[in-house]
Amino acid sequence: MSASGDKEFRKYHNFMQSLTLALALRGGIVADIEPKNIYVPGISTKNKWDKQNSRQIQGKIPDMRVIEKAGKIVLYDWKLISGAEHNYNANKETKTIKMVAVNRRQEKVHKEYMDKLKLVDKEYNNTPPIQRGFWKSGKRANQPKMVLGEGPVCQLMKRYGRVKGLVTGFFGEYSANVGEFIGKIGKGLAKRMWRLNEYASEAECKGVLTYWTQSVIGIEALRCSASLILERLDNVCDNNPRRSGFNRFATRT
């Protein structure tokens, strides 16, 4: 992806991140975004860590931290996927089954973060590499290789469990973790508002407000996709919006 494309994606990624936080706080969920100091207890060279700018740190930390009952911390990370071939035409399932593309992307998030944190450990804790595999002779000779090792930051991350991916797709669909989080927001909103808004029960209010939250996130995700297309017209039609799409190939009279 080009630098400009990455910048555009980051802008809408940050918008969805802020929107989710606003909805969560409105629902009484204790949360914050980009917890910069979350790994500090595991960093041995804190001065070096603090010298990074916000963009450098953003790529190494989760997007959102939620503190649940009994102080349990759950980490989330937002991902937006484009309509690219590798997202929606990767295999038969992504082509034909709804939500597969976003759920497929969701499942990759935790491993990606663990890989990032191994790099953090290498850079800020001088964690040495480890040997993976073993010598094996014969027809299928195998040579062990050196890979990044897990240091204090990786061990700290394991206390929090998996980083949950929150993924929205090119067509406004969202992954299973987004649906789960929407349910939590709807429940929190209903608990606060059902009497004030004269619903018959908290359950009735939860159904309405969960649907409302779902609509807000789905519509805004779709709006982000549409905005990305508009902002990239110059990449596909020589900086002339009139030549975009079908109009580029229309016979001119």
Is 243 domain-assigned? no
For the residues 119-137, what does the mean pLDDT come to?
82
Is 123 domain-assigned? yes
**Alpha-carbon span 111 to 16, nearest angstrom:** 22
Is 162 domain-assigned? yes
Q: Which residue has the higher pLDDT, 150 or 132?
A: 150
Is 37 domain-assigned? yes
pLDDT tier at 103, thresholds 50, 70, 90:
very high
**Alpha-carbon span 146 to 127, nearest angstrom:** 13
pLDDT at 119: 92
pLDDT at 136: 63
Is 141 domain-assigned? no
For the residues 75-95, what does the mean pLDDT come to?
83
Q: How many domains does the chain have?
A: 1
Is 173 domain-assigned? yes
pLDDT at 236: 58
Give the domain extent around 197: 3-132+146-234
For the residues 125-131, what does the mean pLDDT come to?
88
**Alpha-carbon span 186 to 214, nearest angstrom:** 9
Is 188 domain-assigned? yes
**Residue 58 pLDDT > 90, yes or no?**
no
* Percent of the chain residues past pLDDT 90, beyond the cut: 48
Is 26 domain-assigned? yes
**Alpha-carbon span 138 to 83, nearest angstrom:** 46
For the residues 121-147, what does the mean pLDDT come to?
76
Arithmetic mean of pLDDT over the chain = 85
pLDDT tier at 246, thresholds 50, 70, 90:
very low
Burial class (CB in 10 A: 0-12, 13-18, 19+), 252: exposed
**Alpha-carbon span 117 to 107, nearest angstrom:** 17
* Percent of the chain residues past pLDDT 70, beyond the cut: 86
pLDDT tier at 91, thresholds 50, 70, 90:
confident
Q: In what order do the strands lie in the sheet with 164-168?
A: 30-33, 64-67, 73-80, 164-168
For the residues 174-179, what does the mean pLDDT come to?
95
**Alpha-carbon span 116 to 60, nearest angstrom:** 6
